[in-house]
Structure 1
Amino acid sequence: MLDHPQIRAWRPPLTGIAEVFHARITDHVYPMHTHDSWTLLIVDDGMVRYELDRHEHGALDQLVTLLPPHVPHNGRSVTPDGFQKRVIYLDSTQLEDSLIGLAVDSPVLEDPVLRQRIHLLHRSLEQAGDELEAESRLAMVSERLRDHLQGRVESRSPIRNSTIAFRLRDLLDARFVEGISLQDASETLHVHPAHLVRVFSREFGMGPHQYLTSRRVDLARKLLLDGMSPRLVAGATGFYDQSHFNRHFKRTLGTSPGRFARSAPADPLPSPRSPLSPS
């Protein structure tokens, strides 16, 4: 008796990704088929054997597989226990069709840094409200894939990069409550999204999404201590919903917004009188 695959598929609200697909496959054998998007595959358990352009390849749990659009391929498990995979289907805004031939020649990438970035991208895609994080991670993944295929390294100017980083910080500071997409920031500053993420992270030791979240949490602390309810604070500080707010607040401070608010003394000490204040 054949086991039904355990699958989860969705289309995130993020330009550049056509579909996200997570699956545990035991008995199913994929016939030859094609996609009109790039297939970015990581295997978490087991091994996949597939044919691409009449050549056989294997997808292992420590490798990254990139299958180009319009080129037929199939897939099957190597072991009886099947395999578990996570796939992101990228559209042509992330990788140009001119790179298809290079991907056919080298669909398997042995790059632990890239694999970790893809893993973190999947995690951010599963959390509503973390669109800037997902957008930032997608930009870095796409750039590293492009560099692999083209074998090039972008030249960098330390002085200009520092200036760009501070300009992006100013932009985030001005709009951290309403938020700003990485694409909008890129168009405003006339800098490629991946380059923005890289230079900002190098300058400040954190990604743009982490910086924006930290600014929101910092404002939330002030509002909570002023007596605003956590439910209202979530909306006032730009978080997607209460759950999104709670998750990031606790990740930053190690406690929930409610407990943080209740930690204030019931009768706080009065502010010291100014020497010029009337007695």
Structure 2
Amino acid sequence: MFVSVKPSVKAWRPALSGVVEVLHAHFPSHAYPSHTHDAWTVLIVDEGAVRYDLDHREHGLAQAQVSLLPPHVPHDGRSVQPDGFRKRVLYLETDRLGVDLIGAAVDQPEYADAALRHRIHQLHGVLVDGDDDLEAQSRLTLIEERLRQHLQRKVTGPPDQRDPGAARKLRDLLDANVPAGITLDEASRVVQAHPVHLVRAFSREFGMPPHRYLIGRRIDLARRYLLDGRPPAEVAVLAGFYDQSHLNRHFRKLLGVTPAAFARR
């Protein structure tokens, strides 16, 4: 008996600057006709495989790859396998990578880069949760850096230079803004360093990215409030988390127990 499976699409506009749309979709049989976007399309496939024509040349995308489709260039899309495909897409504002790199993307739109694909997967997870702006900004910055390296044919990895001064300035900023937080762009302006360099320098100096450091500081603050007898829902707001579930998730991940269980002990 033939069972029809309907397509499933979830799309939203995140608060993350530079990302105009996020799309998660499962297409059992749908084929895209030729069309264009006014944004850079960063595509990964989670199930199946996709074949598409870009500027009259055929390409294929498997699960281990990342595809970067440039703005304003016609492309289509169809499943390689009879049971369709499942994909996740980030649509980036044109100026995030620049129009001068469109030609390079037309020539080489797929990259077998496991680290890049994993970073994109992680960013999608953050955007689904929607509760950690600094982590989303940091991950997007590193993704864009890696994409530029591919487009410029300079995939050499990050430079091995340290900048403890910039790292410590960023740490001081984070320490001064634990509940309120600070965006990567704001920190970049204060420290006078490029966001990519700032994330790299901090990670090398302190062994973790800035967003993870800030989460740890917020957890420390939450512990003190909990031991003062404040309820977890109030503590979440005071410590800088979006809500109690946001606090619970990170608290359990760090300490192995919920905030309520920690307070009882």
| Fold equivalence (TM over 0.5) | yes
Deviates more, 1:195-204 or 1:149-158: 149-158
Deviates more, 1:85-94 or 1:37-46: 85-94
Give 1:92 shift. 2.3
SS in 2 for 1:4: coil
Matched, 1:124 2:126: yes
How many angstroms apart in 1 are the aligned matches of 2:225 and 2:39? 45
Deviations 1:97-156 (A, max 9, x none): 111000000001111010010000100111122111111100000000001101235885
Structure (1 or 2) with the larger CA radius of gyration: 1
Contact between 2:41 and 2:69, CA under 8 Å: does it hold in 1?
A: yes
Matched, 1:158 2:161: yes
SS in 2 for 1:49: strand
How many angstroms apart in 1 are the aligned matches of 2:255 and 2:4? 48
Deviations 1:247-275 (A, max 9, x none): 11111111000000001xxxxxxxxxxxx
Where in structure 1 do 4 or more consecutive aligned residues deviate above 3 Å? 152-159
Q: How many percent of aligned residue pairs carry the same amino acid? A: 56
Structure 2 unpaired stretches of 5+:
none
TM-score normalised by L of structure 1: 0.91
Judged with a 3 Å threshold, the aligned counterparts in structure 2 of structure 1 residues 92 and 187 are, in CA distance, closer, same or farther, namely farther
User: Which residue in the other structure is 1:53 paired with?
Assistant: 55
How many angstroms apart in 2 are the aligned matches of 1:39 and 1:156? 27
User: Which residue in the other structure is 2:18 paired with?
Assistant: 16
SS in 2 for 1:14: coil
Deviates more, 1:88-97 or 1:18-27: 88-97
User: Which residue in the other structure is 1:273 paired with?
Assistant: none
Contact between 1:9 and 1:20, CA under 8 Å: does it hold in 2?
A: yes
Matches within 5 A, 1:13-162: 13-152=15-154, 156=159, 158-159=161-162, 161-162=163-164
Give 1:2 shift. 6.1
Contact between 1:26 and 1:81, CA under 8 Å: does it hold in 2?
A: yes
Q: CA RMSD in A?
A: 1.5
Contact between 1:128 and 1:240, CA under 8 Å: does it hold in 2?
A: no
Q: Report how many residues are paired.
A: 262
SS in 1 for 2:129: coil
Contact between 1:176 and 1:238, CA under 8 Å: does it hold in 2?
A: yes
Structure 1 unpaired stretches of 5+:
264-279
Deviations 1:181-236 (A, max 9, x none): 11111111121112211111111111100000000000111111111111111111
Contact between 1:128 and 1:244, CA under 8 Å: does it hold in 2?
A: no
TM-score normalised by L of structure 2: 0.95
